[in-house]
Structure formats: structure tokens, C-alpha cells
């Protein structure tokens, strides 16, 4: 069994691992750019299934400021070229743009706030339209040249060409507006004992090299984009590039190593380096590329159409030794069959050149799906390279953590711990929902009486138990179960908690779970979210009563803390604290 869970079909846009980030500092945003406030608009709460796009219909953002006026009757036609001004960034980092003379709202990929641009209408939606950028007319002050040679092509770092302080401002505003509108908390930012509940965003102290894990793919179809988006001005696009990506020269090659082209399972964008990963990981990538390319007859790259070929994926994970802080690297080569005689020379050459490699695993994925998730791990190269070597990974001075795919960070955990405000007398019960490998709960278990973790994935639950054992933590219990299908006896598995930590994935919490929490009435809920829109929806329910507002108000929102863990990407994390209304 592969304990090292891996991500399937990775293109650079599939960020998501919580990578190691360091100290806590807050960002100051120029007050002049804070939008005028308006009262919360009454609206029906979005359903659990209504994730992302529906929650972020940009037409609503245009109504945030009543001074901006009503939408006119103007509706652009598909294919029409139109002059726009970009107002802000929204879901997936798309620019929220307005037609210059009518104010009609369009979502436009690659548009940056403050920019004037020409765009072509791609498709119409209810109340707004989608467009792609043809040409920048005038850039705004915060535009910068993106340092990555692959910027604009791989689809990962969408805002590298926006100065980091401006990225932070946009993310912070996105969270504040979602909480105000979808959460129905209004824009007035009432001052409580701790000041406004909407906290300034916590920036990432590392703008680059913050990712601890990258997965690259081998292939036989090279994707070569024909359009450059890197220039500060004149970022031209073409219809084909936006709609089908077919403006690329599709070359059949014997060998390509890189990232999947956005939305393509079969085409690979060759990657020389990724600025989000460690320098050493980039050097290893180069070495693997050179070696495998030179030996592509013996070790052919996998063809996603014919399902023939040997080399499938290549994953590099970096971490540090908890004692010495020195860099450690784990490598996973995914192949379609187990042929150690082919892989061994590569392993020998890599570990000789990179002593930082402490583990080399060869996963064998025989299925036709473009995934390494179900790959069977072979014992190959476990020794002497000390497979997994979890003892040496460090997180908040804990040893022996088995790192989850979503790698938790120092900063986020400190904010969660602060949010819990444990009394420290060891009397409190913590319920850690969506606990993954248990790392959040375990990192604060010493101040609690007992931590109960709840998680769907059995392997993650097993890792959580192992994490507890290896750290000598006796007051933690991990339970496997589906929080979307709560059973009647759910609360018989643990005593009533004082504090609930909930960290759902993007769809947020299921209505059944929210109803359960409203009945449970824990003193405090700490909601960790990777999707501020579904988080806002859930906070609305928890704080403003059930459907139709018929249920009594149960929780009070104490704070919403946005955290930027993934610079240059649209991802935003949030930690929200809610207190029971006694
Ligand atoms: C955002 S991750 C949080 C993981 C963990 N708290 C951490 O910080 O690493 C969400 C977790 O919820 C789990 N999950 C997703 N759906 C679930 C469900 N219906 N019931 C229980 N757990 C679920 C996932 O497997 C994943 O481990």
C-alpha cells in the first residue's frame, strides 16, 4: 500500500498542498483602496451543491457599491470585442471587469485589477459574461514582469505579474466581500472587544519556493503555447488559445517531462524549472529530464492514448530534518510496470549527485487512468535510501509526522491554536472534523484533555494514529467516517466537545453536519477553510439561524482571518472563530 498518497493528473494549476511557510506578519493595505460599504443584501442561502461559480457570480460584486449604479440593458454578444476596465480579482483569479461605458460585468482570465484592456466575449451567463483578454491598453501601477519562464502557459501561477502586495489586497478584499455578502454579515465591520472581526490577511513570508511537493508527468505529446502572456503590456491572447488551447504547436515527441497543459490529459508542457519548488528540486528535475530523455528508447514515456510506455509521473517532495534543519528530499517515480533494472541506474546516479535524497520510491501504476493515486508501491530502492523516513520531517517541533498531501503549515496552525484559545489546564475536549492525518489536532493535543479526529479516508486515519503514536500522544482518538452522511450514533463516539475544529475541503460542510453542530452547541468553533465562498455560506447558517432564519441564532462570529499560503495563485485559506451565544 502506498502510504504516501499522491495527487492525480497534476497540472500546475492543481495547487493545494499546505506548504511550509514561516513567520507571522500582517500586511497593511492602503486604506484608500477599501471600497465603500453597503448593507448586507438579503438573498437565499446557496445550497451545498452550489459551489464556486454560482457563489461568485460577478454581477453581485458589481452591486457591492450602490454608487456604481444599476446594470444597464446592455448585453454583449458572443465574439464581440469590447473595452473593459478590471475592477478586482474573483474566483480562480479571474478579473472582474466592466464595460467602460455601460458598467456591464464580465469575468476575464488574466485581467489584472486597474488594467484597461480589450477582450473578446467568450460566453454569456445569467447577468454577466465571460471573456478572454486580447490586448492590454494600459497597465496599472502594480503590474510586474513575472519571473517564471513558464508563466501564463502552465496555468498555475496566474498572478505572478501582479505585485505581491496587490495580490494580498485582492485576496483580502475577496474574503471580506464574500463574508459580507454570502455570509450576510454586512460591510460595517463592527468593532468588538478584539476590533473588527475581519482581520487583515496574513502574507506568506516566502513568495517563491514554498511548495513542498510537485508532481510532473511524462508524455509523448508536447504542448507548446504560441502566445506569451509575460510582458507587462500587450498581453495578447487569441481565441483559440483561450477556447481550445489549439493555438499550440502539438508536437509528437518521444519524450516530454513537465506539467499537464491546462484541461488536457494527454499534452504535456515541458517544464525546465518551477519557481514554487525548492532549487534542489529543480536541479533534480533537470537531471531526471536529461537522463530519461537520453534513455527514452529503453524507458519510453507513457502515451496517454495508446497506454504504452514506461515512465508515467515523477514526484519530488522536500522537507527538513527536525534536528539539523537540513534539506531532505523524497522522490517517487511512477512507472507502468516494475522493472528495477531500468530504474536502478537512475537512482544510483541521482543519490550520488544529490545527497539530500533520503528516500526513493518506485510506484507502479498499471491502470489506464492518469493517476498515481492507486499506484502500487514496490520495495524498490527503499534501502539504503530509507524509504519515507518520516522521523525526520519536522512540523512545529513534532517529530515523525506522516505528512498529508495537504501539508499543514506553522503559520496556519498557530492561528488555529490561537483561535482555539485553550485554557491550558488539560480539561477541554476537542473535536477535529475533517482531520486528515490528524496534524492540527495533534499539534494542540498537549493543552487538551482529549482530541477526537474524524476523517473519511481510512489511510489518513491510519496515518493519524501513527502520528499520535510516534509523538507519544496518548490523548487522541481517530475515527473513520463520512461527515456528509452522519449516522444517528455519531455523537456516541465521543463526549461533548468544548471546541470543534472543522477543516472541510472546497464544498464546505454538508447541511446535516451544520445542523448537527447547531444542536451540539460546543463553546467554540474554529472553521479552517480553503474556499471562502462556501465558508461564508456555512458561517451564515451557523450565525444567522437555519433556512429562512427560523432557527435561533446560535453562534457569533468572532474573527475571520485570511491567510495567504500560495502566492501567485488564487488559493486563499481562512481561519474563522465562532463563539456560542449563551
Ligand atoms: C482540507 S483537508 C483538511 C485536512 C487536515 N485537517 C489538514 O490540515 O491536513 C479536508 C479533509 O477532509 C476529508 N474529507 C473530505 N470529505 C469528507 C467527508 N465527507 N467526511 C469526512 N472527511 C472528509 C479529506 O479526506 C481531507 O483529509
Quote the pLDDT of residue 276.
93
Distances (CA, A) of 440 to 396, 404, 467, 528: 11, 11, 11, 10
CA of residue 558 to ligand 1 center, whole Å? 24
Averaged over 300-311, what is the pLDDT? Answer: 92
Q: Identify which has the larger pLDDT, 124 or 401.
A: 124
pLDDT band for position 369 (cuts 50, 70, 90): low
Own/partner contacts of 379-382, CB < 8 Å, gap of 24 or more, are: 380/338, 380/340, 380/343, 381/340, 381/343, 381/344, 381/347
pLDDT for residue 26 is more than 50: no
Q: Identify which has the larger pLDDT, 174 or 400.
A: 174
Predicted structure pTM score: 0.81
Spatial separation of the C-alpha atoms in residues 91 and 101, rounded to whole Å: 24
Mean of all residue pLDDT scores within the chain: 78
Q: Which atom of ligand 1 is nearest to the CA of 440?
A: 8
Quote the pLDDT of residue 548.
58
Q: Which residue's alpha carbon is at the smallest distance from atom 13 of ligand 1?
A: 434
Q: Identify which has the larger pLDDT, 284 or 359.
A: 284
Averaged over 136-147, what is the pLDDT? Answer: 89
CA of residue 138 to ligand 1 center, whole Å? 43
Query: 511-520 vs 532-544: helix axis angle to the nearest 10?
Result: 40
Nearest to 546 by CA among 582, 580, 518: 518
Nearest to 244 by CA among 261, 219, 228: 261
Quote the pLDDT of residue 432.
98
Quote the pLDDT of residue 17.
38
Is residue 187 annotated as involved in ligand binding?
A: no
Quote the pLDDT of residue 140.
82
Using a pLDDT cut of 90, give the percent of the chain over it. Answer: 47
Q: Which residue's alpha carbon is at the smallest distance from atom 23 of ligand 1?
A: 456
Q: Any idea which of 26-30, 102-106, 331-335, 423-427 has the lowest mean pLDDT?
A: 26-30
CA of residue 249 to ligand 1 center, whole Å? 40
Q: Identify which has the larger pLDDT, 378 or 503.
A: 503
Q: Identify which has the larger pLDDT, 92 or 56.
A: 92
The helix (H) or strand (E) run that includes residue 453 is strand 450-455
pLDDT band for position 226 (cuts 50, 70, 90): low
Backbone φ, ψ for residue 455 (5° rounding)? -155, 145
CA of residue 576 to ligand 1 center, whole Å? 17
Coil, helix or strand for 499? Answer: strand
Ligand 1 neighbours by CB, cut-off 6 Å: 404, 406, 408, 434-436, 439-440, 455-457, 460, 482-484, 503-505, 530
Q: Identify which has the larger pLDDT, 409 or 372.
A: 409
pLDDT for residue 90 is more than 70: yes
Ordered by where they begin, the domains of the chain are 26-34+153-207+403-582 (3.40.50.150), 213-392 (2.40.50.1070)
Q: Which atom of ligand 1 is nearest to the CA of 504?
A: 10
Q: Which atom of ligand 1 is nearest to the CA of 406?
A: 9
Backbone φ, ψ for residue 339 (5° rounding)? -135, 80
What sign does the dihedral 371-404-320-342 (CA atoms) show? negative
For 426-465, write each residue's pLDDT tens digit: 999 999 999 999 989 999 999 999 999 999 999 999 989 9
pLDDT for residue 362 is more than 90: no
Q: Which residue's alpha carbon is at the smallest distance from atom 27 of ligand 1?
A: 436
Residue 481 CA to chain centroid, in angstroms? 24
For 182-222, write each residue's pLDDT tens digit: 898 876 655 555 567 889 999 998 899 888 889 999 999 88
Query: Largest Cα–Cα distance of the chain, in whole Å?
Result: 71
Quote the pLDDT of residue 68.
42
Nearest to 350 by CA among 329, 376, 327: 329
**Residue that has been written with the C-alpha cell 495537504 in this structure:** 406
Q: Could you tell me where the beta strands, DSSP code E, fall in 34-183?
A: 81-89, 95-99, 105-109, 116-125, 128-138
Is residue 489 annotated as involved in ligand binding?
A: no
Q: Which residue's alpha carbon is at the smallest distance from atom 17 of ligand 1?
A: 456
pLDDT for residue 240 is more than 60: no
Distances (CA, A) of 207 to 119, 157, 512: 30, 11, 39
pLDDT band for position 152 (cuts 50, 70, 90): confident
Quote the pLDDT of residue 322.
65
Q: Which residue's alpha carbon is at the smallest distance from atom 4 of ligand 1?
A: 436
Quote the pLDDT of residue 410.
78
Q: Any idea which of 37-51, 267-281, 540-554 has the lowest mean pLDDT?
A: 37-51
pLDDT for residue 80 is more than 90: yes
pLDDT band for position 62 (cuts 50, 70, 90): very low
pLDDT band for position 263 (cuts 50, 70, 90): confident
CA of residue 279 to ligand 1 center, whole Å? 30
Is residue 57 annotated as involved in ligand binding?
A: no
Quote the pLDDT of residue 272.
94
pLDDT band for position 72 (cuts 50, 70, 90): low
Catalytic residues: 530
Amino acid at each position: 500500500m502506498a502510504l504516501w498518497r499522491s495527487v492525480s493528473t497534476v497540472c500546475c494549476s492543481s495547487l493545494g498542498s499546505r506548504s511550509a511557510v514561516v513567520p507571522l506578519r500582517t500586511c497593511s493595505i492602503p486604506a484608500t483602496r477599501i471600497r465603500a460599504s453597503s448593507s448586507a443584501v438579503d438573498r437565499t442561502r446557496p445550497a451545498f451543491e452550489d459551489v464556486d461559480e454560482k457563489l461568485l457570480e460577478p454581477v453581485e460584486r458589481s452591486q457591492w457599491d450602490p454608487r456604481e449604479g444599476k446594470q444597464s440593458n446592455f448585453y454583449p454578444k458572443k465574439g464581440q470585442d469590447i473595452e473593459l476596465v478590471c475592477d478586482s480579482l474573483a474566483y480562480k483569479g479571474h478579473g472582474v471587469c466592466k464595460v467602460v461605458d455601460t458598467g456591464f460585468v464580465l469575468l476575464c482570465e488574466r485581467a489584472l485589477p486597474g488594467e484597461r484592456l480589450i477582450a473578446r466575449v467568450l460566453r454569456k451567463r445569467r447577468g454577466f459574461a465571460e471573456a478572454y483578454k486580447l490586448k492590454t491598453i494600459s497597465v496599472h501601477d502594480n503590474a510586474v514582469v513575472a519571473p517564471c519562464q513558464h508563466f501564463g502557459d502552465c496555468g498555475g501561477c496566474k498572478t505572478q505579474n501582479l505585485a505581491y502586495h496587490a495580490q494580498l489586497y485582492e485576496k483580502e478584499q475577496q474574503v471580506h466581500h464574500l463574508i459580507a455578502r454570502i455570509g450576510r454579515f454586512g460591510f460595517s465591520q463592527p468593532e468588538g472587544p478584539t476590533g473588527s472581526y475581519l482581520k487583515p490577511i496574513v502574507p506568506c513570508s516566502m513568495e517563491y519556493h514554498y511548495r513542498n511537493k510537485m508532481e510532473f508527468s511524462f508524455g509523448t505529446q508536447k504542448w507548446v503555447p504560441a502566445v506569451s502572456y509575460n510582458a507587462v503590456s500587450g498581453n495578447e491572447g487569441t481565441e483559440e488559445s483561450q477556447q481550445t488551447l489549439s493555438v499550440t504547436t502539438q508536437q509528437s515527441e518521444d519524450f516530454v517531462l513537465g506539467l499537464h497543459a491546462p484541461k488536457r490529459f494527454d499534452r504535456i508542457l515541458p517544464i525546465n524549472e518551477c519557481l514554487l519548488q525548492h532549487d534542489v528540486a529543480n536541479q533534480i528535475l533537470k537531471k531526471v529530464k536529461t537522463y530519461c530523455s537520453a534513455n527514452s528508447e529503453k524507458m519510453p514515456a507513457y502515451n496517454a492514448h495508446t497506454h504504452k510506455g514506461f515512465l508515467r509521473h515523477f514526484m519530488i517532495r522536500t522537507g527538513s530534518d527536525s534536528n539539523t534543519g537540513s534539506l531532505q528530499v523524497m522522490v517517487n517515480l511512477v512507472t507502468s510496470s516494475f522493472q528495477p533494472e531500468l530504474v536502478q541506474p537512475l537512482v544510483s546516479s541521482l543519490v550520488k549527485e544529490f545527497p539530500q535524497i533520503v528516500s526513493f520510491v518506485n510506484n507502479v501504476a498499471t491502470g489506464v487512468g492518469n493517476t498515481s493515486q492507486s499506484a502500487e508501491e514496490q520495495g524498490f530502492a527503499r534501502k539504503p535510501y530509507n524509504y519515507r523516513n518520516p522521523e525526520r520531517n519536522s512540523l512545529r517541533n513534532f517529530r515523525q509526522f506522516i505528512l498529508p498531501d495537504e501539508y499543514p503549515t506553522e503559520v496556519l496552525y498557530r492561528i488555529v491554536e490561537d483561535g482555539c484559545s485553550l485554557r491550558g489546564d488539560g480539561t477541554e475536549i476537542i473535536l477535529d472534523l475533517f482531520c486528515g492525518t490528524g496534524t492540527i489536532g495533534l499539534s494542540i493535543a498537549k493543552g487538551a484533555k482529549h482530541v477526537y479526529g474524524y476523517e473519511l479516508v481510512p489511510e489518513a486515519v491510519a496515518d493519524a494514529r501513527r502520528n499520535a503514536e510516534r509523538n507519544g500522544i496518548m490523548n487522541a482518538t481517530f475515527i473513520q467516517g463520512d461527515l456528509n452522511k452522519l449516522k444517528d450514533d455519531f455523537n456516541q463516539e465521543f463526549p461533548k466537545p468544548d471546541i470543534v475544529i472543522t477543516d472541510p475541503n472546497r464544498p464546505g460542510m454538508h447541511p446535516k453536519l451544520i445542523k448537527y453542530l447547531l444542536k451540539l452547541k460546543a463553546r467554540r468553533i474554529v472553521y479552517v477553510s480553503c474556499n471562502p465562498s462556501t465558508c461564508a455560506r456555512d458561517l451564515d447558517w451557523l450565525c444567522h439561524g437555519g433556512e429562512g432564519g427560523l432557527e435561533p441564532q446560535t453562534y457569533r462570529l468572532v474573527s475571520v482571518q485570511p491567510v495567504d499560503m500560495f502566492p501567485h495563485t488564487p488559493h486563499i485559506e481562512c481561519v474563522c472563530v465562532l463563539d456560542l451565544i449563551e
